[in-house]
């Protein structure tokens, strides 16, 4: 579904990614794990067109999207849940969801998208008229995910969904990620909580200083002594 080939990205003189190659097959959950500053978020923002690459290519469902602008990439079927949630603070929950459906011209589709979000996240339905800034961190994460799903993406890019959440909420968010995947949405997941990420992913890539240093099935990486020592606290 997605192929990233020899991707290099620079922020000014600083190299964020160096010849990174990875792929996501249809129906998978693929995790990117690594320390802070390893380049995980840069991969997602480059795929979604927010950051430009210096070299390399990105193909989605056989089409080259390397130089495509971000708003056009959304129409192709890729949506991103940004790190730090970034909800529209002054808008209501419902208005945030409507913003996520900006590419939909059919009012019925928008209505169905909102109902889907409220089914996945019943807490949002209870707060549909509340300003997003009044929500808890967990509720804002649910809203950011619901907003990203409004455009009916075939590939969902999830950036640090557990950041700043209580352990009980982290489990709930990961259960919902699995549920979203089971309904047919392919997922690329960036996550600091490596053990949680590997517990739900099919495959994973380990990044260090902008390079892929290990890749394989999530279960193989979870039992790899180096990974256990570096990322699973063992």
- The 8-class DSSP code of residue 131 comes to B
Phi, psi (degrees; rounded to nearest 5) at 115? -65, -35
Return the sign of the alpha-carbon dihedral for residues 218, 202, 24, 83.
negative
**Residue 233 confidence (pLDDT):** 65
Spatial separation of the C-alpha atoms in residues 213 and 10, rounded to whole Å: 19
Give the SS3 label for residue 196: helix
Q: How do residues 219-232 score in pLDDT, each as one tens digit?
A: 999 999 988 888 77
The CB density around residue 214, as the number of other CB atoms within 10 Å, is 17
Phi, psi (degrees; rounded to nearest 5) at 203? -135, 165
Spatial separation of the C-alpha atoms in residues 99 and 32, rounded to whole Å: 28
- Burial zone of 185 (CB within 10 Å; 0-12 exposed, 13-18 middle, 19+ buried): buried
Q: How far is CA 172 from CA 106, 121, 139, 168, 175, in A?
A: 31, 10, 11, 7, 5
Chain region(s) in the chain for CATH 3.40.50.300: 1-77+155-160+186-234
**Under the phi-then-psi rule, with left for phi > 0, alpha for psi from -120 to 50, and beta for the rest, what region is 18?**
beta
**Residue 140 confidence (pLDDT):** 92
Q: How do residues 43-90 score in pLDDT, each as one tens digit?
A: 999 999 999 999 999 999 999 999 999 999 999 999 999 887 889 889
**Residue 113 confidence (pLDDT):** 87
Q: How do residues 122-176 score in pLDDT, each as one tens digit?
A: 989 999 999 999 998 888 989 999 999 999 999 999 999 988 888 888 888 899 9
Q: How do residues 161-210 score in pLDDT, each as one tens digit?
A: 988 888 888 888 899 999 999 999 999 999 988 999 999 999 999 999 99
Residue from 25, 62, 67 nearest 46 by CA: 67
Pairing of strands 2-11, 55-60: antiparallel
CATH class of 1-77+155-160+186-234: alpha beta
**pTM for the complete prediction?**
0.92
Spatial separation of the C-alpha atoms in residues 51 and 230, rounded to whole Å: 28
């Amino acid at each position: 579904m997605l192929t990233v080939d020899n991707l290099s990205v620079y922020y000014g003189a600083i190299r964020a990614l160096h010849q990174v190659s990875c792929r996501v097959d249809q129906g998978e959950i693929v995790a990117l794990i690594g320390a802070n500053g390893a380049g995980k978020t840069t991969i997602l923002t480059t795929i979604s067109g927010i950051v430009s690459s210096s070299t390399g290519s990105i193909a989605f469902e056989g089409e080259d999207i390397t130089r495509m602008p971000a708003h056009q990439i959304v129409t192709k079927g890729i949506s991103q849940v940004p790190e730090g949630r970034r909800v529209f603070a002054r808008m209501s929950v419902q208005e945030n969801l409507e913003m996520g459906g900006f590419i939909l011209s059919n009012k019925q589709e928008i209505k169905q998208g909102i109902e889907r979000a409220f089914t996945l996240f019943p807490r949002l339905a209870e707060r549909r008229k509340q300003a997003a800034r009044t929500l808890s961190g967990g509720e804002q994460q649910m809203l950011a995910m619901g907003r990203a799903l409004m455009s009916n993406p075939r590939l969902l890019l999830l950036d640090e969904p557990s950041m700043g959440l209580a352990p009980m909420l982290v489990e709930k968010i990961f259960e919902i990620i699995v549920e979203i995947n089971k309904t047919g949405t392919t997922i690329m997941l960036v996550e600091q909580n490596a053990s949680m990420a590997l517990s739900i992913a099919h495959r994973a890539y380990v990044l260090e200083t902008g390079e892929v240093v290990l890749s394989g099935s999530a279960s193989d990486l979870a039992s790899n002594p180096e990974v256990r020592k570096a990322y699973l606290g063992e």
